[in-house]
């Protein structure tokens, strides 16, 4: 990924808790092209790990992706914030950001002959990559429907623009408007497993879509998603030991830290990327013990085999794991 210095050129309040931020290259040079679903990794002062923010494109002009004059982000103020969203909401026009990207771990599949309509599902701020997908699909003349879920109409960023651009393809479902509500189960009942489904939003929404679609025997390759947050500790989590077979080192993993975090603190340099259990970069071989798989990368068969795990999110059912590190 390329490193960029970007300057804030415009800030607009989309809702009470979502700000739309426009960025241009600080040196005036052209910005790299991007594809729908791509994100930037933004360096946050005082924070070790960067924060990922999806690029928003509401324009179906090819140049908006291929030769962008600026980048647009939509940032929700989290409560509580770990520092990233609070910093982004404190920005002013003229401030600079250092970013890596664009990078895409949430790409649209290629158009297919006799393709069924693509199903886009967004929850809350998950609309940011989904909006870009809608713009790209419209430009390509590909059929799609967009289901946008939110607590209330007033909290749903970019809703009016999306409705104006895409008309009847956009379906809004607000928790406080009974006439617009559509239970997820009913939505999935209306979708054919031949269709590709893309979902982004809160972890609960993604978990429900993944579980219900797989329960309907949908091909895993037809269900695409992207998480915005790293998994939090779960009630009942306990500590365990991890032995690194190659070095002989043994570490205690407390309930509130991941294997990856403990290894980083000890000065180890394991491979990783997303920290959300999606990408597979941090996968390691398990030599002994039974992992508690919490990733979104492995298939059910791979999980049942228990011979690999993602150390950024997964834990242990056994008191001790031995890893090939």
Contact between residue 199 and residue 209 where contact means Cβ atoms under 8 Å apart: yes
pLDDT for the residue numbered 214? 80
* Phi, then psi, of 271 in degrees rounded to 5: -75, 140
Domains in the chain with CATH codes: 3-103 (2.40.30.10), 118-227 (3.40.50.80), 240-323 (3.10.20.30)
Q: What is the C-alpha separation between 272 and 284, in angstroms, rounded?
A: 10
Mean pLDDT by 10 residues, the chain (325 residues): 90 96 94 96 89 91 90 91 88 96 91 92 96 96 96 95 96 94 93 93 89 84 80 84 94 94 92 84 94 87 92 95 95
Q: What is the C-alpha separation between 201 and 225, in angstroms, rounded?
A: 9
pLDDT for the residue numbered 231? 67
Q: What is the C-alpha separation between 146 and 120, in angstroms, rounded?
A: 5
pTM, to two decimals = 0.82
């Amino acid at each position: 990924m390329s490193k960029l210095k970007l300057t804030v050129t415009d800030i607009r309040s989309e809702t009470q808790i979502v700000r739309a931020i426009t960025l241009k290259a600080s040196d005036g040079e052209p910005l790299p092209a991007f594809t729908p679903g791509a994100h930037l990794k933004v360096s946050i002062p005082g924070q070790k790990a960067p924060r990922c923010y999806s690029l928003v494109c509401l324009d179906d002009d090819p140049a908006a992706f291929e030769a962008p004059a600026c980048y647009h982000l939509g940032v929700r103020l989290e409560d509580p914030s770990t520092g990233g969203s609070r910093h982004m909401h404190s920005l002013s026009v003229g401030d600079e950001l250092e970013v890596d990207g664009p990078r895409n771990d949430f790409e649209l599949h290629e158009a297919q002959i006799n393709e069924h309509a693509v199903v886009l599902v967004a929850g809350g701020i998950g609309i940011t990559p989904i909006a870009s997908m809608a713009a790209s699909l419209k430009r390509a003349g590909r059929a799609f429907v967009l289901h946008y879920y939110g607590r209330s109409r007033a909290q749903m960023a970019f809703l009016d623009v999306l409705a104006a651009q895409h008309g009847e393809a956009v379906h809004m479902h607000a928790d406080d408007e009974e006439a617009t509500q559509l239970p997820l189960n009913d939505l999935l009942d209306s979708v054919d497993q031949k269709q590709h489904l893309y979902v982004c939003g809160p972890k609960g929404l993604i978990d429900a879509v993944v579980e219900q679609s797989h329960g309907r025997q949908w091909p895993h390759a037809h269900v695409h998603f992207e998480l915005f947050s790293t998994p939090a500790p779960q009630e009942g989590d306990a500590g365990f030991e991890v032995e690194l077979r190659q070095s002989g080192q043994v570490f205690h993993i407390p309930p509130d830290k991941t294997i990856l975090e403990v290894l980083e603190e000890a000065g180890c340099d394991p491979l990783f990327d997303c920290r959300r259990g999606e990408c597979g970069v941090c996968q390691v071989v398990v030599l002994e013990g039974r992992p508690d798989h919490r990733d979104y990368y492995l298939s059910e068969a791979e999980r049942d085999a228990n011979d690999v795990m993602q150390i950024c999110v997964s834990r242990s059912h056994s008191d001790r794991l031995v890893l090939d590190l």
